[in-house]
Structure 1
């Protein structure tokens, strides 16, 4: 299972929100490029970037910070590193802008609900490079940087987007995000079981135990996990997480951190 360290960008800084609340942000690093470099040093081969300002504005805002991270990865990484970016990408022009910078995968959110045909067009133009971020509040899809909640069910949107040809679904349970309360395994299982494309879990990971629990869902299509606050607080060590679930060496995991929900 892939591990994606999360770098959330707000006012040019690396922050974490609590349940998506912009008024409850905590700055973890004033320099996102340095933060990204730290994750690479610890073994990351995936990076998950979110332009929080862009999500609110409806267009990319932290482009300079994203470009700096891409350039740092290009010039210093000792292994291939995939960078995926979301937040405020609601036009073909904004998608093209970031792909031109060197971003590997684009994450669309609001447009999946409001402009599904644009998603289809982008998937045709940029095959295997478009993912959909489905951020759910009580099972319904939130849009515009989580500031609004639609009447669209997350499961229904995932099925529609799978038919459009998207490369993956990134599922976030907003009530779990930034809370360190564990991922919503039941919702992830339901969503992943209904589609035939990879699902990346986001929100709530607090420990290696949570990651091992997610590993039990690989059989239904959960192929990765985005980890944010737990990495920044030290509850999860990236090197240990990669060793535990990234290459399958379960014997390296302390017995008391074994998975408990392998049903």
Structure 2
């Protein structure tokens, strides 16, 4: 199981949200480029970057910073937030990212997602952000009528790399992972699952690892890092 540190970008700054609410952002004052290099020095192999401006409005405000991180860090980079057409996806892929995370469009524009998976096989990750197992879109501001499993099923047969399952109620709360929901998704998903939301410390990571679930591919860790609740040297030693 891979551990994937997260960098969330809002107005070119590193922030963390609570339950996706942008008005409740905590800014950490770190240069995102320095954060990425710090992760690389610790032995991190893969980095999760979310463009929160893009997720909310579709703006590409953090593009240049993401480009520098990709160029300087030499990490595998997965990027999400505002990728809603092929032109934007092509630009990111040409930049050299390893994976593109498609969230809102996975709900609203399945034909684009299928075309993206065909053009970039095994490079597309479905970002499924859920509240009570129902998918949310537009930076979590809109709730859909589709369940997590409805979305997974519609992409059966597509060359999707994996899904990131985020429990919105847990995200940014440092309250511990929702093991029951993660297991339910992993048990029923045709794609490997990356868990996200609620990691509060090393015990949550150990718990996920102890499940030894063949379909749980990884875990994203965000706020626990920035609030010094987790020792990355311990994780990656």
What range describes the TM-score normalised by the shorter chain of this pair?
Answer: over 0.9
**Paired position in structure 1 for 2:107:** 113
Match of 1:168 among 162, 167, 182: 162
Task: Determine the C-alpha separation between the residues in 1 that align with 2:134 and 2:190.
Answer: 21
- Cα distance in 2 for partners of 1:156, 1:35 equals 36
Change in Cα spacing, 1:90 to 1:154, as seen in structure 2 (3 Å) is same
TM-score scaled by structure 2?
Answer: 0.96
TM-score, length basis structure 1 = 0.87
CA displacement at 1:190 relative to structure 2: 1.0
Q: Over residues 87-130 of structure 1, what are the superposed CA-to-partner deviations in whole Å (9 max), with x where a residue is unaligned?
A: 01000111111111111100000111111111111111001110
How far is 1:161 from its partner? 2.8
Aligned to 1:252: none
CA displacement at 1:14 relative to structure 2: 0.6
Contact map agreement 2:199 2:205 (CA 8 A) in 1:
yes
Alpha-carbon separation, structure 1, partners of 2:156 and 2:37: 33
Shift in Å at residue 180 of structure 1? 0.6
Provide structure 2 residue ranges, at least 5 long, that are not aligned to the other structure.
Answer: none
CA RMSD between the two structures: 1.3
Larger Rg: 1
Aligned residues: 237
Partner of 1:202: 196
Deviation for aligned residue 1:162? 4.2
Query: Deviations 1:132-179 (Å, cap 9, x if unpaired)?
Result: 100001211010011111111112212323433211000000100000
Give the secondary structure class of the aligned counterpart of 1:216: helix
C-alpha spacing 1:217/1:119, structure 2 compared with 1 (3 Å): farther
Distance in 1, matches of 2:59 and 2:153, equals 26
Partner residue of 1:93 out of 81, 87, 92: 87
Gaps of 5+ in 1: 75-80, 244-263
Quote the residue 1:213 is aligned against. 207
- Tell me: CA distance 1:112–1:218, structure 2 relative to 1, closer, same or farther (3 Å): farther
